[in-house]
Amino acid sequence: MKKNVTIGFVAFGILIVSMSLIPVLFKNKLTQKIKTELNKSINAKVEFSDIELSLFRSFPQLNITIKNFAIEGVANFNQVPLLNIEALYTSVNLSSLWNNSDFQITSLKFINPIINLKVSKEGISNWSIFKTQTQNTSSSEKKPNNINLESIKITNGSLSYKSEESPIDFSFTKGNFDLSGALKGANSTLKIDGEADSINFQYNGSNYISQLKAKFTGGLKSDFDQMSFTLLQNELIVNQLPLTISGTFILGEKADNYDLIFKSPASSLKDLLGLVPAQYQAKLKNVESSGAIAFDGFVKGAYQGSTIPSFGLDLKVSDGRLKYPKLPKTLDKIDLIASLSKPQGSMDLMKIDLKKFNISVADNTISGFLNIVTPVSNPELEGTINGKMNLGALKQALPMDSIDVSGNIEGYVKFKGQYSSIEKGEYEKFKTEGKISLADFAFSNKLLPQKLEISTAKIDVNPKAITLTNLSGKLGESDFTANGNLTNYWTYILRNGILNGAITLNSNYLNLNQLIPNYNPKDTIPTGKPFEVPEKFNISMQAKVSKILYDKISILNTSGEIKVQERRLQLNNLKMNMLTGTVSVSGAYSTPKEALPNFDFKLNISDFDLPTAYQSSGTIRHFLPIANQSTGSFNTGISLNGSIGTGNTPIFKTVNGEGNISSRNIELIGAGLFADISKYFKQGLFTKVKVSDFDAKFKIVDGGLIISPFNTKIAGQDVTISGKQSVSMDLDYLINFKVSKSALSEQVNGYIGFVPGSENIDKYPIGILLTGTFDKPIIKVELTEAKNLVEKEFKKKAGSAIQDAIKKFGLDKLFK
């Protein structure tokens, strides 16, 4: 008995050792075999970082793990990725390690696959990478490898399909699929469970499906000889709306054929609300609803290049009603009849027909219809929308969270014609008319700093323009009137074209303190994405404001042009009077795609009064506290550019520029800067300091300031000033005085007067080193040059007698 047990343990040990050694011994051979088979089969660049083998995971099958598997196109698709898989797990028969003619795959598992399918304008696809069989290959050669799959699993997959030939753009993310069954021979029946997020479909630049979520459970019967697939009993959940699909599709060499029918078993309006995206479903919780619906469609025909199968979709809602909990009013009389249809052929044959739309709130009704044909080549449209709405009643029927709205809107818009008439400027052939009026409108919510009120506004619509007249309103204390027009609006709506416009804005009083937070540099930097300028706008606004209040600054007579164009906000010669002076601004703020917002401005400031600036602006009080004890004015011209970060604040290390500054009649009263050096000067010299007019140039490099040396006079003494400060406000300035004898203190003059040769010196060099930071400056007086100058003059008269006298009186200690 013991012998049998021992033999069993030995056999088991040999098995374990063999299972451990086989993957090691055969890894190189199998790696080479996979590469050889791939090179024989496909014409593309294939890479993977590593292969792992194991007999423990799926014994008696051999488990193969391929990491970072990638396929990249060649020729027309050179360097275009086709497939990237983080990890690919597969199980094959163990005999494949030594039997070259038998390589059976039983399972596949893909982790984070990314599939990128492309079709060129010529109809060439980047997945056409499989090599055709050459003439040298005969039927007597080795058998092809057999696929004996029992399961395929995909985890977190993404797919994109883009055809320049059609042109179709389709994509989805977070795809998870589980296929089980037997893929043996020509026929198989599979069970499929799958789901995907963010499904998008775009044709010729127009979005037809956006951010859709779908889940599928059902069966699939396959005939691989004919590449024919039939859908068995199944359920498709689109967002939360259930659908069933039946029919067959065939994947052919030249064209794919479809014969599919789908419909929803749902019959009520409540079921249709399941089509609303998941992120908005919470708003529909506990909503009372009634009304009947019908929803079905089909896809039938061939797909080849730009030829699309025929399809249809029909939706009908009858006598619908929605009542939100805790709200007194009801949305009722909801009626909708809509269809989308297209025969076999191009997408230009599609017809969109919204035959009827109607909704009422407390006897306020909005209704209309819309019909579109030839949407791709030359959209022909006919439609109308009309009605009136008391916005206060609407708020009582729809939950608007923190929004408070009231007022009345009434009007209609009718249109009929072909888009080509707009392109040719034949506006009389595209009939468009409409009038919309707004009265006693009020709107407020947490996103607006103040309540918006519009007493009146009128909009007239014709084929050429939308014209705004008599708009009058207030935003907090700020008043405004506006007139203008928008042109090319049909191109903007139908072809994603540029919306042109010209608007005139006037205001008697604009209180920016109510509209823009006064950012204090000591506060925590605010967060939030920078404002993005619209992309398809070309709108010019002429602005004129009599008075603007910002902080305590009164800005008068502001005028200029503000232009919005292609993600760029342009200021053209914006002028204003402020701080007893004038300012003109030109420049731009841009928000390019996939890049940080940036600015590039030029400012010219004339005759800014220092004490007025200090009293009016908290920013000036922070950065230039010395202005509190100053009189006079300054001029400056500056150009600045850089990037904008979160909170709409500049990223200071990206800021660069240059400029100049000049002063006039500046006096500094009781300036603490001179406290440490006043003991070297006569009493009262720095009590009231006059600074002579000067001109200085400066540069801003990576957020730091560099001031080129410039000359002026402070308290009547010649001064040269230069230096720099870093982006973190570290200071490094040098102020070099040339001080006359009469300006020195009696004590200093007394010491120097004993030195022979000092009578030849008219002015003494005294330096002030300013370091530290703005909050904690460090001031050091530098007398080295003054001592050297005295010593130099002294040596000119020096002799042995004088040297003895100096030693006698102990004056040599002065220079130690």
Asked whether residue 508 carries a pLDDT value surpassing 80, the answer given is yes
Residue 616: band (very low, low, confident or very high) from pLDDT cuts 50, 70, 90: low
**Residue 23 pLDDT greater than 80, yes or no:** no
Higher pLDDT, 767 or 406: 406
- Whole-number pLDDT of residue 147: 53
Residue 1 pLDDT level (bands cut at 50, 70, 90): very low
Instruction: Give 678's DSSP letter.
Output: G
Judge if the upstream peptide bond of residue 167 is cis by omega within 30 degrees of 0. Answer: yes
Percentage, residues of the chain above pLDDT 70: 82
Question: Which structure tokens are listed for 442?
Answer: 């009020």
Q: What span, in angstroms and rounded, lies between the C-alpha atoms of 728 and 746?
A: 41
3-state secondary structure 538-590: EEEEEEEEEEEEECCEEEEEEEEEEEEECCEEEEEEEEEEECCEEEEEEEEEE
Could you read off the pLDDT of 45-89 as tens digits, one per residue? 888 888 877 665 555 667 788 889 888 888 788 888 889 999 988
Q: Which two tokens stand for residue 35?
A: 């590469």
Q: What is the mean pLDDT of the chain?
A: 82
Q: Give the pLDDT confidence of 238-279 residue by residue, as tens digits.
A: 888 889 999 999 988 788 899 999 998 877 888 888 777 776
Measured in degrees and rounded to the nearest 5, phi and psi for residue 19 equal -65, -30
Beta bridge partners of 473: 454, 480
Mean pLDDT of 750-756: 70
The reported pLDDT for the residue numbered 449 is: 80
Those residues with Cβ within 8 angstroms of residue 72's Cβ, 6 or more apart along the chain or in another chain: 44, 45, 47, 79, 80, 81, 82
Out of 128-132, 359-363, 508-512, 724-728, least confident range: 128-132
Q: What pLDDT shows up at residue 625?
A: 60
| pLDDT one-digit tens code per residue, 364-403 | 999 999 999 999 889 999 999 999 999 999 989 988 878 8
Report the distance separating Cα 407 and Cα 473, nearest Å: 13
What pLDDT does residue 135 have?
Answer: 41
* Integer Cα distance of 227 and 531 in angstroms: 52
DSSP characters over 209-252: EEEEEEEEEEEEEEETTTTEEEEEEEEEEETTEEEEEEEEEEE-
Q: 477-480: long-range contacts (C-beta < 8 A, 24 or more apart)?
A: 477/450, 477/509, 477/511, 477/514, 478/450, 478/507, 478/509, 478/510, 478/511, 478/514, 478/515, 479/507, 479/508, 479/509, 480/505, 480/506, 480/507, 480/510
Q: What integer pLDDT is reported at residue 524 of this predicted model?
A: 47
**Residue 74, both tokens:** 């060649």
Nearest-angstrom CA–CA distance, 123 and 748: 94
Across 22-26, 406-410, 802-806, least confident range:
22-26
Q: Is a pLDDT exceeding 60 seen at residue 450?
A: yes
- What's the rounded mean pLDDT across residues 456-473? 94
pLDDT band at 122 (very low <50, low <70, confident <90, very high): confident
For residue 740, is pLDDT > 60? yes
Element (H, E) at 788: helix 784-797
Tokens at 632, concatenated:
């006079």
Give pLDDT tens digits for 318-343: 999 999 988 999 999 999 999 999 99
The reported pTM is 0.70
486, two tokens: 């928008």
Strands 537-550 and 499-507: parallel
Residue 173 carries which side chain, given as an amino acid letter?
T
Distance CA 51, CA 32 (A): 11
- pLDDT-derived band of residue 28, with 50, 70 and 90 as boundaries? low
pLDDT at 504 over 90: yes
Contact yes or no for 620/613 (Cβ under 8 A): yes
Q: How far apart are CA 711 and CA 633, in angstroms?
A: 18
pLDDT band at 670 (very low <50, low <70, confident <90, very high): low
**With 70 as the cut, is the pLDDT of residue 22 above it?**
no
Within 13 Å and on the Cβ side, how many CA atoms surround 717?
Answer: 26
